[in-house]
Structure 1
Amino acid sequence: MRPNTLAEAVERIRAGAPQDATLAEFVDTFDLAGTSLAQYETIEDEPALTQNERLDALVGAIAEYLAKQRRLGRVPAWVCDPARRLAEPWFTASSPSDAMREYLTFASPAEFASRNIFTEERPLRRARGPQTAKV
C-alpha cells in the first residue's frame, strides 16, 4: 500500500521501510492524485525530522520540486526550514568521478542544488508506459 502523504512516507522510512522504494511509492501517489489540490495535500504536512540530514534535506527538495514542476501554485512553507539543507555537498551517484560530479552539479534541479544535493536532471522520473498484453 502506497503512502498517502510525504509525511507518511517518512514515518514508514523511520519505522524501517526501504527509503528508495517508499519515496518512489509516494511519487506514484502524488502523480495519481486527481487534482492539483489533491497533489498539494500530499506534500502539505511537514514530515518529522529524522536526524538523517540527507533524508531531511531530500524530502524538502522533493516537495518543492513536485510543487514547482506540477505548477501547484504554492510550495509548503516547511521546505524552507534550514534543517532541510545540507552543510556539505551530497552527490547521489555512488562513487562519482570528477566528470560525473561536474555533470551532476550542472544538471541538478535548483530545488535539489539549493539544498546541496546533486543528482540527475529529472530525479523523480518513474518508468511508466503503456501496458502491453503478455503472451
Structure 2
Amino acid sequence: MRPNTLADAVERIQNGFARDVVLAEFVDTFDLAKTDQDRYASIEFAPKLTGDRRLDALVGAIAEYLAKQRRLGRVPHWVSDPARRLDSPWFTTESPSDSMREYLTFASPAEFASRNIFTEERPLRRARAAPEFS
C-alpha cells in the first residue's frame, strides 16, 4: 500500500521500509492524485524530524520540488525549517568522481541544491510519469 502523504512515507521509512521504495511510492501517489488540492494535501503537513539529517533535508526538498514543478501555487511552510537543510554537501551518487560532482552541482534543481543535496536534473522522474511541459 502506497503512503498517502509524505509524512506517512517518512513514518514507513522509520518503521524499516526501504527509503527509495517508499519515496517512489509516494511520488506515484502524488502524481496519481485527481486534483491539485489533493496533491497539496499530500505534502501540506510536516513529516516528523527523524534525526537522519539527510532524510529530513530530502523530504523538504521533495515537497518543495513537487509543489513548484506541478505548479500548485504554494509551498508548505515547513520546508523552510533549518532542520531541513544539510551543513555539508551530499552527492546522491555513490562515490562520485570529481567530474560527476561538478555535473551534479550544476544539474541539481534549486530545491535540492539549496539544501546542500546534489542529485540528477530530474530527481523524481518516474517511468510512467506524465511528460513535463514548460
The TM-score range, normalised by the shorter chain, is: over 0.9
Task: Give distance in 1, aligned partners of 2:128 and 2:80.
Answer: 31
Q: How does 1:54-133 map to 2 (within 5 A)?
A: 54-128=54-128
Task: Name stretches of at least 5 consecutive residues in structure 1 with no aligned partner.
Answer: 130-135
Aligned partner of 2:53 in structure 1 is 53
Using the TM superposition, give the Cα deviation of residue 92 of structure 1 relative to its aligned residue in structure 2, in angstroms. Answer: 0.3
Task: Give distance in 2, aligned partners of 1:21 and 1:95.
Answer: 21
Task: Give distance in 2, aligned partners of 1:127 and 1:53.
Answer: 28
Q: Which amino acid aligns with 1:19?
A: R
Q: Which amino acid aligns with 2:118?
A: F
Q: Which amino acid aligns with 1:64?
A: E
Higher gyration radius (CA): 1
Aligned partner of 1:18 in structure 2 is 18
Over the aligned positions, Cα root-mean-square deviation in angstroms equals: 0.7
Task: Give distance in 2, aligned partners of 1:37 and 1:6.
Answer: 15
Using the TM superposition, give the Cα deviation of residue 20 of structure 1 relative to its aligned residue in structure 2, in angstroms. Answer: 0.3
Task: Give distance in 1, aligned partners of 2:128 and 2:31.
Answer: 11
Aligned partner of 1:27 in structure 2 is 27
SS of aligned partner of 2:20: helix
Aligned partner of 1:132 in structure 2 is none
SS of aligned partner of 2:37: helix
Task: Give distance in 2, aligned partners of 1:78 and 1:16.
Answer: 24
SS of aligned partner of 2:3: coil
User: After the TM superposition, which parts of structure 1 deviate over 6 Å for at least 4 consecutive aligned residues?
Assistant: none
SS of aligned partner of 2:88: coil
Task: Give distance in 2, aligned partners of 1:93 and 1:16.
Answer: 22
Q: Which amino acid aligns with 1:81?
A: D
Task: Give distance in 1, aligned partners of 2:17 and 2:46.
Answer: 19
Using the TM superposition, give the Cα deviation of residue 127 of structure 1 relative to its aligned residue in structure 2, in angstroms. Answer: 1.1
Task: Give distance in 1, aligned partners of 2:115 and 2:78.
Answer: 14
Aligned partner of 1:4 in structure 2 is 4
Provide the identity percentage. 78
Q: Which amino acid aligns with 1:68?
A: K
